[in-house]
Structure formats: C-alpha cells, structure tokens
Amino acid sequence: MKNLFIKLFKKHLEQFYDFKAKYFLSKYRRLVPFGDMISDRWNKAYRLGFGEGTSIYDSSLVLGDVKVGKNTWIGPQTILDGYSAPLTIGDYCSISSGVQIYTHSTVKWSITGGIHKNESAPVSIGSNVYIGPQTIISKGVSIGNRVIIGACSYVDKPIPDFSVAWGQPAKIIGQIIMNADKSDFEIRYL
C-alpha cells in the first residue's frame, strides 16, 4: 500500500511539474527550479518581514537577522547571512543571481583548529543599489546608496554613495552622476 501511494504521488508530482514547466516556458520563456515554480516570491518576502513589493526566490537561503526594504529584487541561488550579525538591505535594490552576503568568517576558527572563534560584523547595503551576479560581500562591509557593484566582485571594504565598483577585491572605478530630477544617470569612470 505504501509503495502504491508513493508511486501515485510521484506520478502526480511529475504531471504537476510538466504542467508548470509548460506554463513557465510559454509565458516567461524560462524553466526555473521546481521550488521557484510552486512558491510565490512576494509571499516568501512577506513571511520574512521584508518590505512591500520585495521578492525573493525560493532557492535563496536566508539566515538570522536579515532586514530588507521595499521593492527590492533578490535573485535565485542567493545567500543572505544575518546569522552572526545583522544584515540590512535598503529599498529598490537588485541583488543578482548567486550573490552571497556574509556577516561572519570562519577562517581563523578553521586555521587555528577552533582556538579562535568565528569573526562577525554587521553588513549594510543602502537603497538603489545594484549588485552583479556571483558577487561576494564579506562581513563588516557597508555599501552606500545608488551604488553599482560589478559581476563576480569580492567586496571587503566600504563602498561610498554614488560609486561604481568592480573586481577581486572590489575597487571604485567610477562615479554615478544623477540628473537634476534623478530620473537618469551617467557613469564617469575614473
């Protein structure tokens, strides 16, 4: 009886997956992980206490004290680690796919065989910030408002307002110059 139930459940699950896959392919021209097909990104953000209009993919991992403002997009396969210290992200941010944000480091603990404790420090990201795919932000970093962080960067130092930064480690390579009504901008490279 148990095996029959499992076979039937598996069959229905596969049929449901096929239905959802066809829907996502026809409507959005994409095929996402199953969890992202069946979960509501805005509902997950609401359950986490994030601001109105914010969305976060089901495949994202959220640990500890993480606060996110309104209308922020958090892409798939991201890690938001507020377990050891608070992590705050402002309004209208784009946290791209694969971004990892950490409030702790286990390097000293590992190398000393547990003699040293994990190090931790809060991370804050302002509003109107774009963080490119596969970027890693380490403990204690503060990123200002209206900042662009390029893809595949490693951010281990503060980045001030209106900056463009990229690299491993990230370095400021330009400034964002907003027009008078803040409806557009240009980048001035250094």
| pLDDT at residue 139, rounded to an integer | 98
Query: What is the band of 32 on the pLDDT scale with cuts at 50, 70, 90?
Result: confident
| pLDDT at residue 120, rounded to an integer | 97
Question: What average pLDDT is seen over the chain?
Answer: 96
Question: CA 76 to CA 39: how far, in whole Å?
Answer: 12
Number of H helices, E strands in the chain: 4, 17
Is 4 in the same domain as 50? no
C-alpha triplet 69, 70, 76: angle, nearest 5°? 85
| pLDDT at residue 36, rounded to an integer | 87
Is 69 in the same domain as 162? yes
Is 129 in the same domain as 166? yes
- Token pair, residue 101, equals 């944000």
- Token pair, residue 29, equals 């021209």
Tokens 């958090």 appear where?
74
Is 25 in the same domain as 90? no
Is 7 in the same domain as 84? no
What does the pLDDT look like over 139-178, one tens digit per residue? 999 999 999 999 999 999 999 999 999 999 999 999 999 9
Count structural domains, the chain.
2
| Residue 1 pLDDT exceeds 80 | no
Q: What is the pTM of this model?
A: 0.91
Radius of gyration of the chain (CA): 20
Question: CA 112 to CA 127: how far, in whole Å?
Answer: 38
| pLDDT at residue 149, rounded to an integer | 98
Give the least confident one: 22-26, 30-34, 106-110, 159-163: 30-34
Is 19 in the same domain as 44? no
Tell me the CATH number at 87.
Answer: 2.160.10.10
> Domain range holding 173?
40-189
> Which CB contacts under 8 angstroms, 24+ apart, belong to 30-35?
32/57, 32/76, 33/58, 33/59, 33/76, 35/59
Is 121 in the same domain as 63? yes
